[in-house]
Structure 1
């Protein structure tokens, strides 16, 4: 795969501001483990190889178990995810594959049994962020692993 353009170089101020926004989410109400699961699952759905590669490596570095990452595509059938994680994954899928009729009351009610209003709001911003990153990296075919050394992802030892 060949990268089309380097959006980070072409729009440095927009990139910087969006990166600041994304980094601000780390101090939100959603714990790191769920943030990793959400980023990986949305990236799987959106077919973003760059983001999937990056977030799998980040998750490994932060101690995520490999089998849970392998089970993300089948999280509904897997026994490896807690109810709170399941709620976050359901919300991620609903917002990533936004149905024509919007998010159903059923999905919303199930998620609200596991997350507070603040947590649900912060989770929504998490999902918005990863979907935007997916779109820019898919559009410009950012090469998976191309930022590993700069972002310390080579420490995952997954190459």
Structure 2
């Protein structure tokens, strides 16, 4: 894969603002494992190789078990995820795919059983953010692993 252009270089202020939003999301009450699972799942759906690669490595560095990382794609069938994680993954999927008739009420109510209104708002911003990064990386063909050293992801020992 050859990168088309480097959007960080072409739009540095906009890229920095997305990064700042990500930093703010790390300060919310959303647990790091849930954030990583959501980022991986949305990236899988969007076919964003760069972001799947990055977030798998980040999750590994944060102590995520490898089997759970393999099971993100099959989370509905896997016994490895908590009800709270499942709700977040379902929310990420519906917002990433956005059905023509919108988000179903039953899913919204189900997610609210596991998240406060504030957490659900934060989770929704997280899904929006990763979808933005996915669209940039897919459009411009960001090369998986190309920023590993910069972000310290080479320490994940996943090659």
Same fold (TM over 0.5): yes
Count, aligned residues: 159
**Misfit runs of 4+, over 2 Å:** none
Deviation at 1:43, TM superposition (A): 0.4
Deviation at 1:123, TM superposition (A): 0.3
Deviation at 1:129, TM superposition (A): 0.5
Give the Cα separation in 2 of the matches to 1:112 and 1:16: 31
Residues 27-66 of structure 1 show CA distances to partners (whole Å, capped at 9, x for unaligned) of 0121101000000000000000000000000000000001
Residues 70-92 of structure 1 show CA distances to partners (whole Å, capped at 9, x for unaligned) of 11111111100000000000000
List aligned pairs for 1:89-104, cutoff 5 A: 89-104=89-104
List aligned pairs for 1:27-106, cutoff 5 A: 27-106=27-106
List aligned pairs for 1:5-20, cutoff 5 A: 5-20=5-20
SS of the equivalent of 1:102 reads: coil
Give the Cα separation in 2 of the matches to 1:53 and 1:131: 15
Residues 69-127 of structure 1 show CA distances to partners (whole Å, capped at 9, x for unaligned) of 11111111110000000000000001000000000001111111111101100000000
In the alignment, structure 2 segments of 5+ residues that lack a partner are none
Give the Cα separation in 2 of the matches to 1:20 and 1:76: 32
In the alignment, structure 1 segments of 5+ residues that lack a partner are none
Give me the CA root mean square deviation.
0.6
